[in-house]
Amino acid sequence: MSVEITRLAVTPKNPNKYATEFDDGEKMTLDAALVADHGLYTGRVLDGGEYEALKKDAGLHAARARAMRILGRRQMSRREITERLIQKGENEETSHSVADWLVKIGAVNDVEYAASIVRHYGGGGYGLMRIRDELYRRGIEHELWDAALSGIPDMEEAAYKALTAKLRGKRPDRDELGRVTAGLYRRGFSWDEIKAAAERYKSEEMDTDE
């Protein structure tokens, strides 16, 4: 089944976009590059194969533009952007294709993203368990974890800094110390790291007049 382009005009708000109408009632807003690639003009008749190819390319272009808008808000992994596109209504084939394209042009880089996650949480007073949880939650492939975690700070030192920031030189009673150490565990520190931090705090930070 062939279709004819009944209208092809530059949109008022964007000279790189073309409002396109077809005699079957279909309407599309197409990029100038897409118009050029497909050789489109008013009165052009597209056969069935050409029409389907145009619709597929138009959908892909729109999905790429959507992905770039999403990435403009925050960095994402390949898995995250794929899942977000599917949530926004793109089909799986298009979403994976767009994700591949984003990786190819460098807009998505899981190696750099993993390193930034480690820097952010490692420098923000979180322990190894929490950092690993974040890498998993954000869709970083497991084979990238070791390289990213090589830049992690010393966890015993990090636990000690987190503890001192909470206690601020106070001499906590048993209940308060229990609440603080439980909080450190929720932030991803191991009990061994927390115990070492508590012992160090007692010896270095608490006033001992005895």
Dihedral angle of Cα 152, 156, 159, 161, to the nearest 10 degrees: -90
Of 185, 177, 135, the C-alpha closest to 155 is 185
Look at residue 208 and tell me whether its pLDDT is greater than 60: no
How far apart CA 76 and CA 66 sit, in angstroms, is: 14
Tokens read off for 174: 């048993």
Q: Give the largest Cα separation in the chain, rounded.
A: 96
pLDDT digits (tens, 9 = 90+) for 97-124: 999 999 999 999 999 999 999 999 998 8
φ/ψ (deg, to 5) at 62: -65, -40
Mean of pLDDT values over 158-186: 90
pLDDT for position 202? 86
> What is the token pair recorded at 127?
């322990």
Please report the pLDDT score of residue 1 as a whole number.
Answer: 84
Structure tokens belonging to residue 121: 């949480």
What Cα–Cα distance (Å) separates residue 102 from each residue in 31, 63, 97, 204? 19, 11, 9, 50
Q: How far apart are CA 159 and CA 196, in angstroms?
A: 8
